[in-house]
Amino acid sequence: MNPDLINTIGIKQSAREEALLYEVRDVEGLIDTLDKDISEWSDFDSWKNIRVQQWIFERSMDIYKHKKIDIKCNCCEYNYFSQRDLENSSNKKCYGIKSAYMIEKVFHEILLAEARRESDGTYSA
């Protein structure tokens, strides 16, 4: 995946001109979902809030379609977190980072499903 497709920014940062901007606070229930223990929020399939699940999936599809997105948290003034660091971010407290982590995780599941579909399900990645 292109490392510039998803970016997390803080309250005092501006979104990139070419990126779609999404604010964590605008997604009803997202903070509540991400405020739980990591064992709960990192298991996307167990989320009870379907609306929040759909929002994460839609952002994953944005990335799948090569759209750039900026996730603005409301908990950090500045956020210089690289997408390359997302794999190690699941324990961070920032809601923007947690959101980006889940978006990338679902994006990888989309790619895996696509690979399986293209190979008639005979190849498992």
For residue 124, is it within any domain? Answer: no
Q: How far is CA 37 from CA 21, 25, 33, 91, 121, in A?
A: 27, 19, 9, 9, 34
Query: Residues 76-102: what's their mean pLDDT?
Result: 75
Give the range of the structural domain holding residue 104, as residue numbers without chain letter. 6-118
For residue 28, is it within any domain? Answer: yes
For residue 123, is it within any domain? Answer: no
Q: What is the CA radius of gyration of the chain?
A: 14
Q: For residues 104 and 81, which has the higher predicted lDDT (pLDDT)?
A: 104
For residue 16, is it within any domain? Answer: yes
How do residues 92-120 score in pLDDT, each as one tens digit? 788 999 999 999 999 999 999 888 888 76
For residue 18, is it within any domain? Answer: yes
How do residues 7-44 score in pLDDT, each as one tens digit? 999 999 999 999 999 999 999 999 999 998 888 888 88
How many structural domains comprise the chain? 1
- Res 89 pLDDT > 70: no
